[in-house]
Amino acid sequence: MKNLFLFFSVMAWGLLICSCNNQPENSVTKIGHSSTVIATQLPGVNKYVEVKDAERFLLRWSRENTVVFHITAEPDELHPTNGSGNMWYFINNYIHRFVVTFDLENLALRPDLVKAMPEMSEDALKFTCELREEPKWDNGEPISVEDIVFTFKANKCPLVNNPHAKPYLEYLQDVITYQDHPMKFTFVMKKTYLQNVAFLTDFPVIQRSYFDPDNVLDNYTILQFDDPDFDPVEHEELKMWAKGFNDVKYSRDPDFIAGLGAYQVTGWDAGQSITLTRKENHWTQRLSQQTVYETAHPEKVIFKLNRDKSSQILEFKSQTLDASVSLSTKTLLDLQKDEEFNKNYHSQILSAFSYSFLAMNMRPDGIKHKKLFADKRVRRAMALLTPVDDIISVVKKGTGKRITGPVSPLKDDYNNDLELILYDIEEAKRLLNEAGWIDTDGDNIRDKVIDGEKVQFSFDLNYMTSQVEWKDNAQMIAESMYESGIRANLRPLDFAVLYERAENHNFDMMLGAWSGNSMPDDHKQIWHTSSWKNKGSNYTGFGNAATDALIDSINTTMDLEKRKELRRRFQQLLYNEQPYVFLTASTRKIVIHKRFGNANMYFERPHVIINNLKLLSPKDGSSVN
């Protein structure tokens, strides 16, 4: 067998090291305030930003060992299988543990609940692990292979409400256990796949005896759940179990949200805050050597919701908030002009693997949502009318980097041959005229007869209320489009509502963002037609048999150079079809109070390790227990 840690580390380094070749080794981009830079160093230069502890503890600093962490959106739920989204992932990192997860310090995978990274068979279809002995559930039960098997059966069960997650489990064929070695198990995959281990980072391990006390799933196999002829509704006990498992109490009631992590949800004030409290006598506290991922220094972590820029500034100036990775660029730059803020907080802008986009509904119902964007000439016109450079200059204060596709420019398979689509109102008008959208009644709004009905080019542009930047972006886009005879009606929505509508194809156009990471990308979730049919993350309806086949080839091609070429071909196809207007590669604005040590900042999400923030000693600046 081959050690998978080496396999994935080399793959990740190969993708990332090359991304630095176009930059001077210690290059940073200076913006605004003299202390502000965009940190873009990556492997081969800097793996993360190391932050020195404050030399002294100021009298005005709080001595309470609680981290109040600023967020701009709360998760729709915290169910261990059925939840989704960036905040679900962020908070669950402190509630749950995983078979393997990310090593933020090295931009690679690391073992979490297993002793070492999985060992891979010669055919790359079997991945064998051995559980650690230390992890214990809150009731004192040790973790078992039974919990591992149950976790993946539950996620594969057709009656479990996790359509967003099921594409990541498509290649999982079985989990093998060993009677003579109760801590050993093997993942068996159907075919070679570049993320045959990386997918494990998305699935918290859950306790069989807690979520399935009657052991109902023991009567079924993963192979059954994969069988298209298997009808789960014919199995009454399975229906009853799934109904209970999908219950909202496991999603929002702190008394029922349970995991292997060092923190427990102890409060959820909807629309205000989510409170995590450190567990007493947690198994990680008895480890002889803790990694930065196994500490639990803060007694409490309060995720406090605040979407208002003015209020955010006030809360940081009054030191009500301790940390954030969610500020807008303008908000952080405004704060950094304040001398007292700079005395109280570490702050930094870091490049990230995420990107923002403008998505169009290519396959609307034609009734509630008209067929405005079915023609790719129209979609290209939308790209020509989106003032991305002005958005970067005005809204992002020069910190954004334009992109042409869904691959991070930090990776070496980003297609640099694709030219940026520059703002060009005249070319946009030409394409709209060519597609039959002409103002026939003189009201300054283009119209067209579609399926026997005269339709005005007027639509809803949905955007998140989580940050003022989204509103500013939407307004600039709407103003630009109106100049060419198109009316975009601005519709601010809560994060959960925006993405719920997108999953149900209940939108015209939306502004959004995808969080990425340093691992090789799987395009299936967002671009495969199956992810449109099952209400996954293919919101636009992009794709056909040919693009599906290309995605499948990308996912199963292990040769890095061949895969790179396939990925560039795929980016070219997206560029031609224009389902999204790709906007900018994202940056993260990170703020951490100087009363905490270990305040390092990371390129990989979640960008901070909250559990490792250690309250400094008021006496001499050294850490306290």
Tell me: the pLDDT tens digits for 476-508? 999 999 999 999 999 999 988 998 999 999 999
pTM listed for this prediction? 0.78
pLDDT at 263 over 80: yes
Q: How many residues does the chain have?
A: 625
pLDDT confidence of residue 317 = 97
Look at residue 573 and tell me whether its pLDDT is greater than 80: yes
Q: According to the model, what pLDDT value does residue 37 have?
A: 47
pLDDT digits (tens, 9 = 90+) for 302-348: 999 999 999 999 999 999 999 999 998 899 999 999 999 999 999 99
Please name the residue that has the structure tokens 């001398």.
339
Helix %, strand %, coil % of the chain (to 5) = 30, 20, 45
**Pairwise CA distance, residues 539 & 522, whole Å:** 16
pLDDT of residue 39: 52
Minimal CA–CA distance to 325: which of 615, 115, 24, 613?
613
pLDDT band at 556 (very low <50, low <70, confident <90, very high): confident
CB 260 within 8 Å of CB 147: no
Residue 28 CA to chain centroid, in angstroms? 25
What pLDDT is attached to residue 52? 96
Closest CA relative to residue 317, chosen from 303, 297, 337, 302: 337
pLDDT of residue 495: 84
Architecture category of domain 75-249 in CATH: Alpha-Beta Complex (3.90)
- pLDDT for position 525: 86
**pLDDT bracket for residue 216 (50, 70, 90):** very high
DSSP 178-207: -TT-TTEEEEEESS--TTTTGGGGG-----
Say what the pLDDT of residue 17 is.
31
Rounded to the nearest angstrom, the gap between the alpha carbon of residue 376 and the centroid of all alpha carbons in its chain is 28
pLDDT computed for residue 535 by the predictor: 85
Task: Give me the residue spans of the domains in the chain.
Answer: 75-249
Whole-number average pLDDT of the chain: 90
Nearest C-alpha neighbor of 419 from the set 458, 383, 455: 383
What mean pLDDT is predicted for residues 545-555?
Answer: 94
- d(Cα 612, Cα 596) in Å, to the nearest integer? 9
Q: Assign 24 a pLDDT band (cuts: 50, 70, 90).
A: very low
Please report the pLDDT score of residue 517 as a whole number: 80
Examine the pLDDT at 36 and tell me if it is beyond 80.
no
Dump the DSSP string for 465-524. Answer: SS-HHHHHHHHHHHHHHHTTT-EEEEEEE-HHHHHHHHHTT--SEEEEEE---SSPP--H
* pLDDT score, position 46: 63
Query: DSSP 3-state assignment of 274?
Result: strand
The DSSP H or E segment spanning 329 is: helix 329-336
User: Does residue 248 sit in helix, strand or coil?
Assistant: coil
pLDDT at residue 113, rounded to an integer: 98
Q: Is the pLDDT of residue 28 over 90?
A: no
Question: What is the rounded average pLDDT of the residues 85-89?
Answer: 89
Task: Tell me the pLDDT tens digit for each residue of 125-165.
Answer: 999 999 999 999 999 999 999 999 999 999 999 999 998 88
Whole-number pLDDT of residue 14: 35
Q: Which carries the bigger pLDDT value, residue 531 or residue 15? A: 531
Q: How confident is the model at residue 19 (pLDDT cuts 50, 70, 90)?
A: very low
| Cα gap 484→432, rounded to integer Å | 9
Q: Model confidence at 400, in pLDDT bands (50, 70, 90)?
A: confident
Residue pLDDT, tens place only, 339-382: 999 999 999 998 888 899 999 999 999 999 999 999 999 999 99
Residue 557, pLDDT score:
87
pLDDT (tens digit, 9 = 90+) per residue, 96-117?
A: 999 999 999 988 899 999 999 9
Closest CA to 617 of 586, 596, 590, 588: 596
Query: Tell me, what's the pLDDT at 555?
Result: 87
Q: Which of 37, 430, 96 lies closest to 265, judged by CA?
A: 96
Query: Residue 32: is its pLDDT beyond 50?
Result: no
Closest CA to 509 of 354, 356, 355, 362: 362
Q: What is the pLDDT of residues 189-204, one digit of tens each?
A: 998 887 889 899 999 9
Distance CA 81, CA 96 (A): 11
pLDDT of residue 192: 87
The share of the chain scoring above pLDDT 90, in percent, equals 77
